[in-house]
A and B are shown apart, each in its own frame.
Chain A
Amino acid sequence: MRYFTDEHEWIEVDGDVATVGITDYAQGQLGDIVFVELPAVGTAITKGKDAAVVESVKAASDVYAPIDGEVTETNGALEEDPALVNTAPEGEGWFFKMTIADAGQLEGLMDAAAYKAFVESL
Chain B
Amino acid sequence: MSDHDTDETLEDLPLEALPLDAWHRARGARMVPFAGYEMPIQYEGIVAEHNWTRESAGLFDVSHMGQLVLSGPDLDAAVEAVLPIDLSTLKLGQQRYSLLLDEEGGVLDDLMVSRWPEALYLVVNGATKWDDLGTLREALPDDITIHHMDEHALLALQGPKAADALARHATGEYPLSALTFMKFGKFKLAGHDVTIARAGYTGEDGFEISLPAAAAAEIADLLCAEPEVKPIGLGARDSLRLEAGLPLYGHDLSPETSPIEAGLLFGINKRRRTEGGFPGADRIIREINEGTARKWVGLTIEGRLPAREGAEVFSGAEKIGIVTSGGFSPTRQAPIAMAYVASAHAAIGTALEVEVRGKRLAATVAPTPFVPHRYYRGS
Contact = CB atoms under 8 A, between A and B. Distances in A.
Contacts of B306: 34-35, 55, 60
B47 A57 contact: yes
A59 B4 contact: yes
Contacts of B304: 34-35, 82
Given A34-B304, A35-B306, A58-B41, A63 B1 contact: yes
B1 A35 contact: no
A57 B335 CA distance: 9
Contacts of B335: 34
A22 B327 CA distance: 22
Given A53-B357, A57-B327, A35 B42 contact: no
A31 B42 contact: yes
Interface string A35-78: 10100000000000000011111111111100000000000000
B330 interface: yes
Interface string A68-95: 0000000000000010000000000000
Interface string B346-366: 000000000001000000000
Contacts of B46: 31-32, 56-58
Nearest to A57: B46
Nearest to A63: B1
Contacts of B305: 35, 37, 55
A60 B335 CA distance: 13
A8 interface: yes
Interface residues of A, number: 24
A75 B10 CA distance: 40
Nearest to A79: B304
A8 B239 CA distance: 26
A61 B1 contact: yes
B235 interface: yes
A26 B4 contact: no
Given A53-B357, A82-B304, A34 B328 contact: yes
A63 B4 CA distance: 11
Secondary structure dominating the interface of A: strand
B181 to A, nearest CB: 28
Contact of A32 (B4, B47, B238, B308): B47
Contact of B1 (A22, A34, A55): A22
A31 B41 CA distance: 11
Interface string B321-354: 0000001101000010000000000000000000
B89 interface: no
Interface string B302-313: 001110100000
Nearest to B42: A31
A22 B375 CA distance: 42
B3 interface: yes
Contacts of B328: 34-35, 55, 57
A8 B1 contact: yes
Given A31-B42, A32-B47, A62 B1 contact: yes
Contacts of B2: 7, 61-62, 64
Interface string B162-175: 00000000000000
B4 A62 contact: yes
B372 interface: no
Nearest to B327: A57
Contacts of B235: 31, 57-58
A34 B46 CA distance: 12
Interface string A14-26: 0000000010001
B1 A26 contact: yes
A57 B1 contact: no
A63 B305 CA distance: 16
A35 B302 CA distance: 13
Interface in B1-22: 1-5
Given A32-B330, A35-B304, A58-B46, 16 more contacts: A31-B47, A34-B335, A35-B306, A37-B305, A55-B305, A57-B47, A57-B50, A57-B327, A57-B330, A58-B238, A59-B3, A60-B4, A60-B306, A60-B308, A62-B1, A62-B2
CB-CB nearest 3 A-B residue pairs: A34-B328, A32-B47, A60-B4
10 contacts: A32-B47, A34-B328, A35-B305, A37-B305, A53-B357, A54-B1, A57-B235, A58-B41, A62-B4, A63-B1
